[in-house]
Structure 1
Amino acid sequence: MLEGTPEIPVIDFAPFLEGTASSRQAVATEMRQASREWGFFYLANCGMPEKQLAEAFAASKAFFSLPVEAKNRVAWQNAESNRGYVGIKRERLDPARPGDLKEAFNLAPEQPGPGAHRNRWPAGPPDFEAVMTRFLDECIATADRVLEGFALALDQPADFFVGAHDQHHHTLRLLHYPPLPEGFEPHDGESRAGAHTDYGSITLLFQDSVGGLEVCTRSGEWIRATPMPGTVVVNTGDLMHRWTNHVFSSTPHRVNVAPEHRHRDRYSIAFFCHPNKEAEIACIDTCATAETPPIYEPISAGQHLQEKLTSTYGA
């Protein structure tokens, strides 16, 4: 492991991408340990081109700087599509708390066929659609490489997870946390993003330098996931938690209103990796023993996602 935040592990992915079979296995072993103990890790040298990442952040900032009226013309409409602009306080990730102090824009790979959902592209900024489409492709490629590592970590064929995600039912989410007004005091537990776990298999999170992400440890302590240049934060979600019979953990996390950055804009980009909707999520054979039998009944990935989105946004 590389030097970094002393709590959340930092894993160098270069030996997995470029190394021998033994090097790949060593990285996969690190990924397994981090996912079991934390459900989170920083991944360095993941293969994401720096230029594409910089272009995506610049386009995200340009979109969120548009007037509210322009953003609302491409507003999020329903959980089935899960695309478009989500206004401030529209989402409540923690159902027990007020709406989150953030805005977002969701897009996803478009499926073939006349009845398939389409992205709700705004009229501007220029090149927004082209930049985000390229970046979406890079996220898919990066996620597939990470999924190969997870398969190796669980003694499965390299394409075990990639094959279950090959219809690309993923979501790319641009996030903006606006500065909070002078004298602002949160009430009733308000925060930039309430405590939650992610719904799918894995998430790739690209952060700016502002920070605010916090992760809950096994002992119930909240610690900061401080931005680290050159890394992507990887975490395992609810479906991976279920798929692996709790071998990999889905860990609560949040974005807090910390005093030192409450008057700054914060931007992040999350790629939520979700299996094919028809994929059956059943306990992986290497994750069950006589002492630890399967915890959950099988469920389709699509049914699981629909239930989670309906809970987040309301019917």
Structure 2
Amino acid sequence: MSSVLLGDAHGISVVDFKPFLDGSAKQDVAKAILDSFKRIGFVYLVNHGIPPEKSKAMFEWSKRFFALPEEKKLLAPHPPSGTHHRGYSAPGVEKVTQVYDNKELIANARAKAPDVKESFECGWAENVGMPNIWLPEDVLPGFREACMDFYWTCHETELQILRAVTVALGISEDYLVKYHHAHDNQLRLLHYPSVPAKDLEEEKITRIDAHSDFASITLLLQDHVGGLEVEIPGKPGEFMSAPPIDGALIVNAGDFMMRWSNDVIKSTMHRVRAPPNAKVVDGMIPPRYSIPYFCCPEFSEVVKCLPGTFSDENPAKYEPISVQQYILQRLAATY
């Protein structure tokens, strides 16, 4: 195990994924990932299979997109509906919240401390129910192709991580893979503009409030600035930094995966705040860029608790559920 477990960052395991990919230590890698998921719901992966040059290029595309004038970005507007996560959202429009069924509370939270971030989202090109919304090609030539190439690159790594989870659970390696064809995944480019440090500290504004993700797993690439925080296990409301690690992919489990695993895997609250020891210039926190890739089972599937997560002594806690019913309910609550 020591050869694949490279250490930890504030309690989150740092795992070398290469021995899983090349088959030299699949069980050890799988166990290390599942152990971290069980304990805190997050894991860092190095040698994860996403080529560094592709990650670098996608961050460059992201910066070029967000550097466009506002009126240009709004040529690909995110629809007002929270169930259609595609296109561009301007700063302060979206409010991530853990309240799902009270529109008044959500509106009040947005007014009190808006999320000062902007985003662009895309998904499967042939998704009729949630079509992509692109800029006109002449506004940023090549952007669409770059996004979709990166979308499918991330999907390949997603499948390998799902295989590792099932190997660790002792079930068929392709058990989760058969539910994940990337038809309902989402690639998001995020930009957190430079903001006054005092306003962040006094919570007059937020970057992203505490929340959990809601699908299977999330792959996160982030720049060197930092600011991601994860709730400390057993200490609700207390958070610790999840700092950037050069070349590492952060992977976390979502609420659907926790339910699917009969609560064996944890879905943990996390947020984005002012980065620790940030270089503040003229009272301003530096901008931050990140790229999350949200992985979701096929909407058409109905799933029940995974084999290997329940027994006569520990029965399944959850009835079978439609993926579409579960996910759309959560999507609608983020706007």
| TM-score grouping bracket, smaller chain normalisation | over 0.9
Indicate which of 280, 287, 309 corresponds to 1:265.
Answer: 287
Aligned residue for 2:159, secondary structure, equals helix
CA contact (8 A) 1:110 1:117 kept: no
Find the counterpart in structure 2 of residue 234 from structure 1: 251
- State which of 2, 6, 18 in structure 2 corresponds to 1:2: 6
The answer to whether 1:309 aligns with 2:324 is: no
- Going from structure 1 to structure 2, the CA distance change for 1:197 and 1:173 (only over 3 Å counts) comes to same
**1:169 partnered with 2:184:** yes
Moved more, 295-304 or 175-184: 175-184
The alpha-carbon deviation at position 181 of structure 1 amounts to: 3.6
Are the aligned partners of 2:117 and 2:192 in contact in 1 as well (CA < 8 Å)? Answer: yes
Moved more, 296-305 or 269-278: 296-305
Q: Which residue of 2 aligns with 1:100?
A: 115
Letter of the 2:37 partner, please give it.
Answer: S
The runs of 5 or more residues in structure 2 that have no matched partner are 100-104
Partners of 1:239 and 1:281 within 8 A in 2: no
1:73, distance to aligned residue in structure 2 (A)? 1.9
Letter in 1 for 2:250: V
| C-alpha contact 1:52 1:134 (8 A) present in aligned 2 | no
SS in 2 for 1:63: helix
The 2-side partners of 1:108 and 1:218 are apart by: 32
Partner of 2:271: 254
Q: For residues 150-189 of structure 1, what are the structure 2 equivalents within 5 Å?
A: 150-166=165-181, 168-181=183-196, 184=199
Alignment partner for residue 118 of structure 1, among 131, 140, 143? 131
State the one-letter code of the partner of 1:82: H
Partner in structure 2 of residue 279 of structure 1: 301
After superposition, where does 1:291-306 map in structure 2 within 5 Å? 291-306=313-328
Q: Distance in 2 between matches of 1:281 and 1:187?
A: 43
- Give 3-state SS (helix, strand or coil) of 1:160's partner: coil
Choose which of 191, 201, 208 in structure 2 pairs with 1:193: 208
Distance (whole Å) between structure 1 residues aligned to residue 38 and residue 200 of structure 2: 36
TM superposition shift of 1:155: 1.4
Residues 182 and 29 of structure 1: is their aligned pair in 2 closer, same or farther, counting only changes over 3 Å?
closer
Aligned mates of 1:32, 1:117 — CA distance in 2: 32
Whether contact under 8 Å (1:59, 1:125) holds in the other structure is no
Give the AA of the match of 1:297.
E
Identity of aligned residues (%): 37
Secondary structure of the 1:272 match is: strand
The alignment of Structure 1 onto Structure 2 pairs a total of residues equal to 309
The structure-2 alpha-carbon separation of the partners of 1:209 and 1:25, relative to structure 1 and needing over 3 Å to count, comes to same
Give the match for residue 32 of structure 1: 34
TM-score (norm 1): 0.93
1:19 to 12, 16, 23: 23
**The residue matched to 1:118 in structure 2 has which SS?**
coil
Q: CA deviation at 1:99?
A: 2.7
Task: Return the offset for 1:111.
Answer: 2.4
In structure 1, distance between residues paired with 2:123 and 2:51:
20
What CA deviation, in whole Å up to 9, does each residue of 1:122-176 have, x standing for no partner?
1332211111111111001110111111111111211111110125210000000
Q: Is 2:204 the counterpart of 1:215?
A: no
Q: CA, structure 1 residues 167+216, in 2 after alignment: closer, same or farther (shift >3 Å)?
A: closer
Tell me how far 1:82 sits from its aligned partner: 1.4
CA-to-aligned-CA distance 1:252-275 (integer Å, 9 cap, x gap): 000013472552110000000000
**Is the 1:201–1:273 Cα contact (8 Å) retained in structure 2?**
yes
- Could you tell me how far 1:211 is from its partner in structure 2? 0.0
Whichever residue aligns with residue 95 of structure 2, its letter is R
Amino acid paired to 2:15: I
Aligned to 1:64: 66
Deviation at 1:304, TM superposition (A): 1.0
Q: Give the one of 32, 50, 53 matched to 2:52.
A: 50
Alignment-mate amino acid for residue 18 of structure 1: D
Contact 1:242 1:281 in 2 (8 A): no
Gaps of 5+ in 1: none
Contact 2:231–2:270 (CA under 8 A) maintained in structure 1: yes
Task: Tell me the amino acid that sits aligned with residue 255 of structure 2.
Answer: D
CA contact (8 A) 1:39 1:250 kept: yes
Partner in structure 2 of residue 91 of structure 1: 94
Alpha-carbon distance, 1:227 to partner: 0.2
* 1:15 partner letter: P
TM-score, with structure 2 as normaliser = 0.87
* TM-superposed deviation, 1:107: 0.4
What is the SS of the residue equivalent to 2:44? strand
Classify 1:147/1:224 alpha carbon distance in 2 versus 1 (closer, same or farther; 3 Å): same
